[in-house]
Amino acid sequence: MDDQRKRTIIAEIENWRRNHLLPEHYCIFLLNLYTEGDRPSTPASAGRGEGKRADALASGAGVATGNSSPSASYAYATRTVAPVTGKMVMAWLLGAFVIAGLILLAFHFNRFTTPMQITIFACFALVFYILGYAFRRQAPPLTHLFLTFCFVLLIAGGIYCIQQLNGSMALTLLYLGVVCVLLCLSAFIFGYAYLLYCGMLGLALIYGFATVQRIGEGYTWWKSELYWVPLACLLTGLGFLMNSGNPKWAGVFAVCGLISFFGAEIQALYISEAKRDVIQLLLFIKVFLASALFFFTRGYWYTWLRL
C-alpha cells in the first residue's frame, strides 16, 4: 500500500473517530493497524472510564500486531501549572511573615510587659474580627474560623492578663460578661444564631457563678427559684413575642429561657446545704411544666423546632 493511500485511510478513520461514526476502540485499533503503532492513542472526546478501556484495547491490539510499544499505547494527561504572579508571591511572603511573627511572639511573649501583652491580644483579636466580617459573603467557613480565633483569643488572653495584674474574681466576671455581650451583638451583625446562643448561655453561667455564694448563705429552695424563674420567664416570653416577626432569634431566646428555667437546680448542685431529694423533686416538676407549656404552644414552635 502506497503512502498517499495510507494517509487517506488514516484521515478517514480520524474523521470517523471525531464524528463517532464507529466505536472508539475500533477506530483506535484501525489507527494502530495502519500506522504500525507510531501514533499515540489518546481519546479525543471519550470519558475517563471509556478512555481507559479504549487504551487497554489499543494496547492489546498493539501486542497482537507485534508493532506497538507501551509508550504508544498509553497517554498521560498533564496538568497545567498556573504562572507565578506578583500577587501569589506577595501572598506567600505575607503568610510566611505572619507565621514567623507568631512563632517569635510565642517564644518571647513572657518578656513583654503586661500593657504590651494586652495590646498584642487586642490587635490580633481585632484583626481576626475584621477578617471575619470581610469574608462573611465570599467565604463563610473562613468567617466562622476567624470569629472562633477572635473570641478564644479574647477570653484566654483577657483572663491571662487579668491574672498577671492580680485582678479580682469580680473583675474577671465583669470582663467575661463584656465578651458575652459582644458575642450577642456579633450575632445580629453576622446573622449567626450560635453566637447568640454562646453569648446568652455565657451570661447565664456568669450570673450563676456570681450569685452562688449569696444563694448559699441560708439556702432555701424558694429563694433560689426567685433568682432564676423570673429570668427564664422573661426570656421565654420574649421568644413568644418575637416568634411572628423573627423566628430564628425567637427560638434562641426560648431555648435559653428553657435552660435558665433549670438554672436553680443546676446551681444547687454546687451548694452543700441543698438537699438532693428536693432538687430531684423540683427537677421532676419543672420537666413536667416545661413539657406541658411547649406542648400546648407547639403551634408557635412547630416550624422552627421541626417537632
Q: What confidence tens digit (pLDDT) does each residue in 284-304 have?
A: 999 999 888 878 877 766 655
16 in a domain, yes or no?
Answer: yes
Residue scoring higher pLDDT (174 or 1): 174
3-state secondary structure of 120: helix
Our count of domains for the chain comes to: 2
- Cell 479504549 appears where? 54
**Cβ-based neighbour number of residue 271 at 10 Å:** 16
197 in a domain, yes or no?
Answer: yes
pLDDT band at residue 60, thresholds of 50, 70 and 90? very low
111 in a domain, yes or no?
Answer: no
pLDDT at residue number 185: 96
- Boundary (domain end) residue, out of 38, 73, 108: 73
Burial class (CB in 10 A: 0-12, 13-18, 19+), 147: buried
Long-range own/partner contacts, residues 207-211 (CB < 8 A, 24 or more apart): 207/231, 207/263, 208/263, 208/266, 208/267, 209/173, 210/173, 211/267
Query: Which residue range forms the structural domain that includes residue 236?
Result: 168-305
Average pLDDT rounded to a whole number, residues 239-246 = 81
Average pLDDT rounded to a whole number, residues 154-176 = 93
- Cell 492578663 appears where? 161
174 in a domain, yes or no?
Answer: yes
Average pLDDT rounded to a whole number, residues 206-213 = 92
Report how far residue 24's alpha carbon sits from residue 36's, in angstroms, rounded to the nearest whole number.
Answer: 18
- Boundary (domain end) residue, out of 30, 55, 73: 73
Q: Which residues contact 199 (CB under 8 A, 6 or more apart)?
A: 180, 181, 182, 183, 184, 186, 187
80 in a domain, yes or no?
Answer: no
If you count DSSP H runs as helices and E runs as strands, how many of each does the chain have, helices first? 14, 0
Q: How far is CA 57 from CA 24, 53, 68, 201, 273, in A?
A: 10, 6, 12, 66, 84
For residues 55 and 175, state if they share a domain.
Answer: no
Query: Do 34 and 6 form a contact (C-beta atoms < 8 A)?
Result: yes
- Cell 431566646 appears where? 253
136 in a domain, yes or no?
Answer: no
- Boundary (domain end) residue, out of 18, 40, 73: 73
For residues 66 and 176, state if they share a domain.
Answer: no
160 in a domain, yes or no?
Answer: no
Lowest mean pLDDT among 18-32, 39-53, 150-164, 171-185: 39-53
**pLDDT tens across 74-112, in order?**
444 445 556 667 767 777 787 787 788 778 777 777 788
120 in a domain, yes or no?
Answer: no
For residues 57 and 180, state if they share a domain.
Answer: no
- Range among 114-128, 172-186, 266-280 rated most confident: 172-186
Report whether pLDDT(52) > 80.
no
Name the grid cell of 110: 513572657
